[in-house]
Amino acid sequence: MDVETLANALVAGILTGMVYGLSALGLSVIFGVIRIVNFAHGELLVIGMFAALVLFRWLGLDPLLSVPLVAALLFVFGYLLQSLVIRRVAHLADHMQFLLLAAIAIAMVSGCLIVFGPDPQGVQLDYALDSFAVGLLVIDKTRLYAAIAAVLVAGLLLAFFKYATVGRAIRACADNYLGAQVVGLNVGRLYALTFGIGSACIGAAGCIILLLVDVHPYLAPGYTLLAFIVVIIGGMGSLFGALLGGVLIGVAEAMAAVVIQPSLKTAFSFALLIVVLLLRPQGLLGKAPH
Amino acid sequence: MSLYTRLLGDLTGRGLAALAGFVVLLVALPSLVSSYIATVATIVLYLAFLGQAWNLMLGIAGLLSIGHALFVGIGAYASAYLFAIHGVPPLLGVLAGVAIAVAAGALIGYLGFRFAIGGVYFALLTIAFAEFTRIMVDHAKFLGGTEGLFLPVSAASRHGFDLLNLRGSPEMFYYLILALALAALALCRWLLTGRTGYYWRAIRDNPAAAQALGVDVFRYRMYAAMISAGMAAVGGVFYAFFYNNLFPEQVFGIERSIELTLAPIVGGVGTLFGPIFGAFVLTPLGELFTAGVEWLQTSGAIGRHVKVDGVKPLFWGIAVAAIVLLRPRGIWPWICDRLGLVKPPSERS
Amino acid sequence: MAPLLQVEGVAKSFRGLRAVSDVSFAVEAKEIFGIIGPNGAGKTTLFNMIAGAFRPDRGQVQFDGRDITGFRPDKVCDAGIGRTFQIVQPFAELTVLENVTVGALHAHREVAAARLAAADCLDLLELGHRRHMHASNLTLPDRKRLEVARALATGPKLILLDEVMAGLRPTETDRMVVILQRLRAEAGLTIVLIEHVMRAVMALSDRVMVLHHGEKIAEGKPEAVVRDPAVLTSYLGGAAV
């Protein structure tokens, strides 16, 4: 194994990890505020990917340019999902919420399967095979663009939570549900907005991932698990944690693929998940769970 | 307390009659219906059996596992490997499978309880172990890896009745899983009405209070995890010999873990008959949807371009979501009340 | 004879805040020992250290001739100490009888025997007519009684009662006083109670200890303690009795 291979794997891992981080951000936002573990995460991501695919085929739109459209679409979907369905199980036990979301996930995957079929489909971009050479490093154009787009969207989201009035109100809700109600915030609406924003973030991630991966319905569970791993390692509910976890997992998988064996990289992630759950269940940047 | 009281003491006369009728119907079923329906019934009973194993852990001891396919898979792979490669009969193989699964249950339980990982985090821990194992089996050449592990099937064995080697006709498998499901029901009922059951329910409702009353919470949680894992492994042995082929993705995949939680949750978590009832609702529901879609397609109502594969799970997902929203405690407790099958607490001895 | 329960110099801090500092006291067999003090004085923390919910930072707990410092709650129960919780902790999905049976299984191997013993405990606490209700449907005073019945069912030598009279009407308080006196007289039970209801404390306790800011400021006969100048200024506010 030479330095060149390792360095290239490292860079590719960091870039891919940023996209993982953006996807996990959507899961983390929803959990951090609504305290719902979104078991339909990967399905939302796959829907985002298919939406970008359709826009590419119909309008020839580059998936990166379809980010705003797909994000808006998934925002509406997430908003409605929370305000019409998930709101009604908020008081139920963990396993009922899990089952509801699992059922919704099954329905969504099946919907995709009916419409698009089971075979992998991708976009053909004219820059797909281009790359930049920087010294020893060879950086794929698509991967670089994807990472830049992911960082931009994530930055937008972080700015929203820091500066926008609604974003700050949502954070107040997350910190203190009762307090938020007492000062007159419409918690139900803020929750719906949160689920919408989380979904929009997942949709954006879906568009970006389509640059790197061909889409098919059965990708979904794998992406759900990947996002869980990222978020738990970074810290459930911590936004920076999700990005950090994404990069860590991206690098760990890329390294495992070149050092050990590509097909074992996921096993490596799960092993990491087990270790973090045991030693630091709140994650690297998370607050202690109550 | 007599065995009869412990197993059936809660039932009203009507409840006893319903149970007896149900059992008689199940025993007679293969001679009444087509072999297709008998096969569906076999799968229903299989899911009912697994549902009870899983329910023991969540509904009775309060531990949410979404990685139970791990234990099923361990039972399946251990017994199939011993039989296919070393010729060890499954009657012995089941012991190995159960032993490994119980050890795995003990390990996950130990880590989860000692490190105080609760609720959703415990669920994720179980998923992580199941997925980790799946990928390991993918790479285990001696278990066939992704190419799968196959059991020898001969035309003669398709009609036989060899319980020792679990080679035989579909009827044999039907009666085997029926016996297992009923035995699981009796075992759960027996455990639940004994000291262990009281302690489990106390721990589920309030672990701190249970501990103050002298309950060794850790030990009883470990029992729940180990018994549940062992039962699931028995189901795995059945799975292996019924289907005759094992693939890591199909055996350990998270879809399998989710599938086996559906019947108990829909039927009613924490009830003993709920998982059985849930299985009897869900599987036929799925079959019905498939039949309906095929009929629509042959009659020309929907086009050929629609992928039928997706239609059944689509309706299924919608149906399950509807049940969660409309009957969050499960269907069985509601039916039980409506029909007066169980005595109110004041009439129990 | 050595006292049944001996607590020596126990202390506990939470994040640097001292909840209990160097408290010592001893309780004789068959004694009824009251602990009073304002909210936040450290009474419940003291109970939690005896019952094993918290391990003391310093100090020792001796019970029945054994060192039980830092035992797990279930081991403390095995040693012969029953407890109730200030914030009631019923098993919500279980009936009242089943709740108490969980406790009774500590003293009886067979479920049938435990259920009978549990029924006796419920009768004693005058909850017999509620035995088939779900614990989640009980009123607060009944839940308090359920707490006592459940702890009692474990067959303890000593019972720690944390504000079991709070929320009871005066007549109900008097009933509880009579019940507790009977338990001591008939079953030889030793009782340590945290209580705000002064008439109950005065009527029941052989001796009373006063905690304030985590420290013991007085101990002695109830009549003497309530006249103690330190107690009057810090707790009773001078006019309470």
Give residue-wise pLDDT tens across range B132-149: 999 999 989 899 888 999
B1: pLDDT strictly greater than 90: no
Give residue-wise pLDDT tens across range B235-265: 999 999 999 999 999 999 888 898 888 888 8
CB-nearest to A107 from B255, B318, B325 is B318
Owning domain of residue A125: 3-279
| The predicted structure's pLDDT at residue C239 | 47
Per-residue pLDDT band at C237 (split at 50, 70, 90): low
- What average pLDDT does the segment A181-203 reach? 87
Give residue-wise pLDDT tens across range B16-56: 888 888 899 999 888 888 888 899 899 999 999 999 999 98
Using a CB–CB cutoff of 8 Å, tell me whether C85 touches chain B. Answer: yes
Question: Is A260 within the bounds of a domain?
Answer: yes
CB-CB neighbours of C192 under 10 Å: 26
Query: Could you tell me the CATH number of the domain that includes residue A91?
Result: 1.10.3470
| The predicted structure's pLDDT at residue B86 | 92
Q: Do A111 and B310 touch (CB under 8 A)?
A: yes
Do strands C215-220 and C207-212 pair parallel, antiparallel, or not at all (unpaired)? antiparallel
Lowest mean pLDDT among B104-108, C53-57, C166-170, C217-221: C166-170
CB-nearest to B139 from A113, A114, A263 is A263
A186: pLDDT strictly greater than 90: no
Please give the span between the terminal C-alpha atoms of chain B, in angstroms, as a whole number: 9
Percentage helix, strand, coil, to 5, in chain A?
Answer: 75, 5, 20
Kindly report the CA angle at C83 between C130 and C145, in degrees rounded to 5?
A: 20
Distance from CA of B194 to the nearest CA of C (A): 6
Using a CB–CB cutoff of 8 Å, tell me whether B192 touches chain C. Answer: no
**d(C-alpha C36, C-alpha B3), whole Å:** 50
Number of structural domains chain A divides into? 1
Give residue-wise pLDDT tens across range C124-169: 888 888 988 888 888 888 899 999 999 999 999 999 999 998 888 8
**d(C-alpha A274, C-alpha A269), whole Å:** 9
Residue ranges, CATH 3.40.50.300, chain C: 1-80+158-165+190-241
Tell me the fold of B39-151+158-347: ABC transporter involved in vitamin B12 uptake, BtuC (1.10.3470)
**CA dihedral over C15, C16, C19, C23, signed as positive or negative:** positive
More confident residue, B159 or C76: C76
| The predicted structure's pLDDT at residue B209 | 94
Distance from CA of A264 to the nearest CA of B (A): 7
| The predicted structure's pLDDT at residue C117 | 94
CB-nearest to B209 from C89, C106, C111 is C89
CB-nearest to B128 from A89, A274, A289 is A274
A288: pLDDT strictly greater than 60: no
Conformation bin of residue C220: beta by default, left when phi > 0, alpha when psi is -120 to 50: left
| The predicted structure's pLDDT at residue C104 | 95
Q: Write out the two tokens for B75.
A: 């039972």
Q: Do B253 and A277 touch (CB under 8 A)?
A: no
B112: pLDDT strictly greater than 90: no
| The predicted structure's pLDDT at residue C241 | 41
The closest of C189, C199, C197, C226 to C210, measured between CA atoms, is C226
**d(C-alpha A47, C-alpha A217), whole Å:** 8
A290: pLDDT strictly greater than 70: no
Per-residue pLDDT band at A289 (split at 50, 70, 90): very low
* Exposed/middle/buried for residue A63 (C-beta within 10 Å: 0-12, 13-18, 19+): buried
Q: Tokens 């992580």 identify what position?
A: B128
Conformation bin of residue A206: beta by default, left when phi > 0, alpha when psi is -120 to 50: alpha
Q: Which of C105, C131, C150 to mutate to test the interface with B (most CBs of B within 10 A)?
A: C105
Tell me what the pLDDT averaged over chain B comes to: 87
Q: Do C83 and B210 touch (CB under 8 A)?
A: no
- What average pLDDT does the segment A237-263 reach? 86
**d(C-alpha B99, C-alpha B71), whole Å:** 10
For C110, nearest residue in chain B (alpha carbons): B195
Using a CB–CB cutoff of 8 Å, tell me whether B213 touches chain C. Answer: yes
Query: Which CATH architecture best describes the domain C1-80+158-165+190-241?
Result: 3-Layer(aba) Sandwich (3.40)
Per domain, the residue ranges of chain B are: 39-151+158-347
**CA dihedral over A253, A259, A263, A267, signed as positive or negative:** negative
Question: Is A285 within the bounds of a domain?
Answer: no
**d(C-alpha B341, C-alpha C114), whole Å:** 26
Question: Is A286 within the bounds of a domain?
Answer: no
Question: Is A290 within the bounds of a domain?
Answer: no
CB-nearest to C102 from B202, B344, B345 is B202
| The predicted structure's pLDDT at residue B273 | 85
Give residue-wise pLDDT tens across range C152-164: 999 999 999 999 9
Strands (DSSP E) along chain B, which ranges? 149-150, 161-162, 167-168, 245-246
| The predicted structure's pLDDT at residue B156 | 67
C159 - beta bridge partners? C82, C191
**d(C-alpha B313, C-alpha B319), whole Å:** 9
Chain B residues within 8 A of C73 when measuring between CB atoms: 208, 211-212
Chain B residues within 8 A of C105 when measuring between CB atoms: 195, 198-199
- DSSP for residue B273: S
Q: Do C92 and B205 touch (CB under 8 A)?
A: yes
Residue B142 makes CB contacts below 8 A (sequence gap 6+) with B81, B85
Secondary structure (H, E, C), B3-55:
HHHHHHCCECHHHHHHHHHHHHHHHHHHHHCCHHHHHHHHHHHHHHHHHHHHH
Question: Is A287 within the bounds of a domain?
Answer: no
B232: pLDDT strictly greater than 80: yes
Conformation bin of residue B64: beta by default, left when phi > 0, alpha when psi is -120 to 50: beta
Chain B residues within 8 A of A266 when measuring between CB atoms: 131, 135
Chain B residues within 8 A of A288 when measuring between CB atoms: none
| The predicted structure's pLDDT at residue C116 | 93
Q: State phi, psi for C166 to the nearest 5 degrees.
A: -55, 130
| The predicted structure's pLDDT at residue C115 | 93
Question: Is A49 within the bounds of a domain?
Answer: yes
**Which residues in chain B (267-286) have CB-CB distances under 8 A to chain C?**
270
Give residue-wise pLDDT tens across range A120-157: 988 888 777 787 887 777 888 888 888 888 889 999 98
Q: What percent of chain B has pLDDT over 70?
A: 96
